[in-house]
Structures are given as structure tokens and as C-alpha cells.
Amino acid sequence: MLAFLAGCMAPDRIAYGPKAAATASIEGFGDIRIYADTSRNLPEARAWLPIPRHKEINYLVLSGGGAGGAFSVGALKAWSDRGQRPEFDIVSGVSTGALIAPYAFLGPAYDDILVDLYTSGVAKELVNADFLPQGLLGASLLKQKPLRTMVERYLTHDILAKIAAEHRKGRRLLVLTSNLDSQRAVIWNMGAIADSGRPDALQLFRDIVIASASIPGLYPAVLIKAKSGDQSFEEMHSDGGSASQILTIPEGWMANSDKVEWPKGVKLNMYIIINNALMSEFSTTTNNTFTVMARANSSLIKAQTRSALVATYVYAQRNGIRFRVASIDTQVAYNMTDPFNTNYMRAVYNLGYAKMASDSLWKDRPSFTDTLTATQTAQWR
């Protein structure tokens, strides 16, 4: 029995220290990432900041939210159908938002891929559980293979080449992961990775997206090879939502009291889509371990997202940024035991589509309340 349990344990890793972690880089890729808590000074700023092509910079922010990502897919599809969707100069994604971001970055021609991913039922393939005790003693409860297979199917060499071409035009695609070893949020310049010309660029690109979308405990973290001086090791990266549900402005920038000088004569428009509810959602919680843990985690995510939105809003007000935010502000029944339920995903997709189509999606400041009705009670059982 002990031998069996030992076989279930996660494998050992190469140890490394905080000094190596602080100076680590991905060999051969240059400055493709920064920690979110660093100062506003960017390495090779021209490769990070967008190159303004018009009088406006349009920034799309896609949050975490699991199956709720269908909400932003619906909103983007309706935006395209209305013929009013801008070509975004910056797109950032966290968790499920990281899965959506590459296609949102490439534009309306890729809407159908997103609609298929989030409404066809294919997402149910992501739930492939390990049996106990392997799931509890190993790296995760769910296997990574279905998620990796899906990412490899849709993130191809052709997609990478198109992202690289847009990066060269001055557009920027960013993804957030959580470095679990350092307990720091990492911002990855995905366009620079795509444009690196390296044969392993696609593998790294996929690994980052998978890491950002890997909910801790449910999916295994992703080990990414790094190097500091002569020392090689693997960093453990997981769900970007562990650090922040949204990637708007790096923490180090927001903490700086100085006003950031954006390009003169250029207006920054920030569109934030929260693939989750910000309002309180009442439910009589079933008193069992997993339900209580899930309910508490949901409350934590709401609080984290609200705080990030308020910080971003204050920063936007201070720096003259046009702020727009959308969220799932109508309760939709959700069962935590069926995390990628197709009916739920279609419902929030339709909600996002309808709100954009009716011009009622955006709010110009964070709002955390809504009218609740008994018939809309969420399912936490």
C-alpha cells in the first residue's frame, strides 16, 4: 500500500533559491516577461508598449472565470456583428481569459473558433478526473491532457505566425501566470514570444496559456524551464487568477504616485470584461467539505476582483484613462459539480451577446450590486 501511495506522489524538483528566481530568464527568448509588482520601467519598452496608430489606444482586458468565459465570447461576437468592434492595440488574458485572448487579439475572423470552444459542449472534455487517492496525493484532481490537447488543437503554427505579424505592427498580447515558487504574478509578452523565430516558441506559448488556465488543485501546474547564470531549473506556473483575476496595469505602476505620461494626444480606452459575477449571490450552502471550500473560494475571488477593479478605476481616473467594465450581473444557475456545463456556458454566452447587442453591457465605474430574485438563486449543492 505504501509503495502504491508513493507512486501517486508528485515527482521531486530541482531546488533553487530566491536569488536565482529573481534573475531567472527563459533561455534564448530575451526580455519576454516581467513581474507585475516591479516598477513601471519596462525592458525594451518598444517591444512592450503599443505603437499608437490612431488617436486612441484600445485595451481589452479578459478576466478569469472558468466556464464563465463564454460571457466575453458572447459580448465579442455581438460587438463584431454590430460592426463596431475596434482593433485592440492591447489584449490581456487571465485564466479562461488567456484561452480567449489570442483569438480576440486576431479579431472577428476568429469569433467562430471561440463560439465553438465555449458553446458546442467540447469544454466538457476538460473534466477527466484522477481516481483517489492519486488525485489527492498527486499533482491535481483533474488530468492536464484534455486541456493540453485542446490548446494544441487550436493554437497552431499558423495562429502563432499571425500573432507575430500583429506584434510587429505594434500591437501587444499579454498573459498572466502565477509563479508559485516566488508567489509573484508574471506578465508574459506573448507577441514577442511568437515573433522570436525560435523553434520552441509555440511550445512555450502553449505552456503559458495552459499554465494561466490551470486552476490550482484541479489541474496540474506547468513547469517552465528557466536559467539564472549557470543554473538551470524549472519554475512552477499556475492559474494567473491566483494572483489577480484581471491584468490591467502592473501593480508596480499603480503603486507609483507619479502620473504616467502616455503618448501625447493619444486617448487610452480600457474595456474590462469580467467573466464572473461581482454582486453577492445568496445561496443556502450545503454543509459538506467541497461545497464549503468552493463557496469560500468564490467569495475570495469576488473580493479579489472587486479590489483589483477599484485600484484600476482609481488609476484610470488619475491618468485620464477611459474606463469601461462589464460583468455577469444576472444570476445564472451554476452547479459546482459540473464546472463546464454546456447549458450554463450557453446561457452566459447569450447574456453577453444580448447585453452587447442592446448596448447595455458597459458601466463606467465598478458596480457590485444588483437586484436578486428567488428564481435566480445559484446552485451550490
Q: What whole-number distance in Å separates Cα of residue 165 and Cα of residue 292?
A: 47
Confirm whether 116 is a catalytic residue: no
Confirm whether 120 is a catalytic residue: no
At position 258, the amino acid (one-letter code) is D
Give the active site residue among 63, 95, 298, 327: 95
Do 71 and 65 meet the contact criterion of CB atoms below 8 Å apart?
yes
Q: Which three cell numbers stand for residue 168?
A: 510587429
Q: Which residues contact 357 (CB under 8 A, 6 or more apart)?
A: 78, 81, 82
Give the active site residue among 140, 239, 298, 327: 239
378, 381, 185, 212: which is closest to 288 by C-alpha?
381
237, 207, 225, 212: which is closest to 27 by C-alpha?
225
Give the dihedral of Cα atoms 129, 131, 289, 211; nearest 10 deg.
-40
Instruction: Spell out where the chain has E strands.
Output: 33-35, 56-62, 90-94, 172-179, 184-189, 222-228, 231-238, 267-273, 322-326
Sign of the CA dihedral 173, 179, 182, 183? positive
**In degrees rounded to 5, what are phi and psi of residue 185?**
-80, 135
Residue with cell 447595455: 360
Do 175 and 18 meet the contact criterion of CB atoms below 8 Å apart?
no
Catalytic sites, residue numbers: 95, 239
